[in-house]
Amino acid sequence: MHTLLVNSPQNIFTELKLPLNTPSDSIRAILLQRTSDTVLPPEMDRVLTKLKLLEVRRLYVRFGHDVFATCDYCQSFGDYALYALPRPLLSYVREVAVIGLFTLPTTPLAHLRSIGIGTLILAGLTEAYWLLTVPVAISPTDDKFFLRITMWHDTLLLLRNILFLVLLFLLHLPRIPLIDLFPIISNMVPSPNPTPASTSASIKGTIQTLDHLIPALHLLKYTRAALMRSPDARERAGVWWDAEREEGDVGRRDDGVRRAAKGMEIGYGERVEIDGVIEEEEGKLLTNTRKAIESLQESARPSDHWNAP
């Protein structure tokens, strides 16, 4: 709001209403006539020195007065582009943060977060592409033509600030009922209260899942039993479990792991000395695991193929 109404971007040609091909010496003379000083500020003098080249004035149209006044080392298009990038980028990041605060998951506008942030990303990419690729024609003799040249930096800055100001108001507007008549638009603008799935649809989906899950569980049961009947598969499974057991023993014997497990209330036993023999008490983790296995065994009987012959 301050940039829109009070602090508009500085531009020598628009403020003095001069064509873009006005010589730098003429601009300097006009500026000196409007001030009581005998010399111009260093920033303004630097800008006028750079504007002696007509080709550089194209860059002035693209990147604005402030970049020319503050960048001492800029010489080429790439230098000015890299120097000018952080300001608009930070402004978009700041606006994304503001939109994110207004559309937190616990707020009524949470469903519009993707719309708001997506709009800002699209606007930022469009601005960057347009600013870097728009042609700026140069005609050294046509003064009227230069008066009609669009100062793209100032114009895009104005449009950007308008977007930042208007976007928050648009997000707070109530949903228009007519949007639902156009499926493409209604899909792009999500509803704040999505329609819950019907009970019949939920039951149907559950039945379909069970129809697939139950045969898969039966297949898993018979597959594991078949693997254990194969000597080669049984031997490899035994080797794998032996390696896992060794790794587990190493981890459980580590004092640091033991202390961490105890602090997380999943301790697996304390070392105690009984009649000169060091033994381990049953910890909370082992107790809970045994209870879980017992409950599983009661609810689902293991395959008969696992029984010893």
| Domain residue spans of the chain | 2-188, 200-253, 258-309
pTM above 0.85, yes or no: no
Q: Looking at residue 3, what is its pLDDT?
A: 59
Instruction: Tokens 């600030």: give the residue.
Output: 161
pLDDT, position 302: 57
Question: Would you state the pLDDT for residue 123?
Answer: 94
How confident is the model over 6-16, as pLDDT tens digits? Answer: 567 788 888 88
Q: Per residue of the chain (309 residues), what is the pLDDT tens digit?
A: 555 555 677 888 888 888 888 888 888 888 888 877 778 888 888 888 888 887 888 899 899 888 888 888 888 899 999 999 999 999 999 999 999 898 888 888 888 888 889 999 999 999 999 988 988 876 655 555 555 678 888 889 999 999 998 988 888 777 665 555 555 555 556 656 555 556 777 788 788 887 888 888 778 777 877 777 888 888 888 888 889 888 888 877 788 887 887 777 777 666 655 566 655 666 777 777 778 777 766 765 555 655 544
Average pLDDT, the chain: 78
Q: In the prediction, which pLDDT does 83 show?
A: 92
- All residues at 6 or more sequence positions from 252 whose CB lies less than 8 Å from its CB, including other chains: 258, 268
CB 270 within 8 A of CB 281: yes
Chain centre to alpha carbon of residue 15: 40
pLDDT, residue 144, reads: 54
Residue 131 near residue 62, CB atoms below 8 Å = yes
The pLDDT of residue 309: 47
Tell me: the pLDDT tens digits for 134-183?
888 766 555 555 556 788 888 899 999 999 989 888 887 776 655 555 55
Nearest to 248 by CA among 286, 302, 207, 205: 286
How far, in Å, CA of 246 to CA of 251, rounded? 9
User: What does the pLDDT read at residue 36?
Assistant: 75
Helix (H) or strand (E) holding 268: none
Distance between CA atoms of 11 and 44, rounded to whole angstroms? 11
Q: For residue 189, what is the enclosing H or E element? A: none
Q: Which helix (H) or strand (E) holds 116?
A: helix 113-133
pLDDT at 97: 92
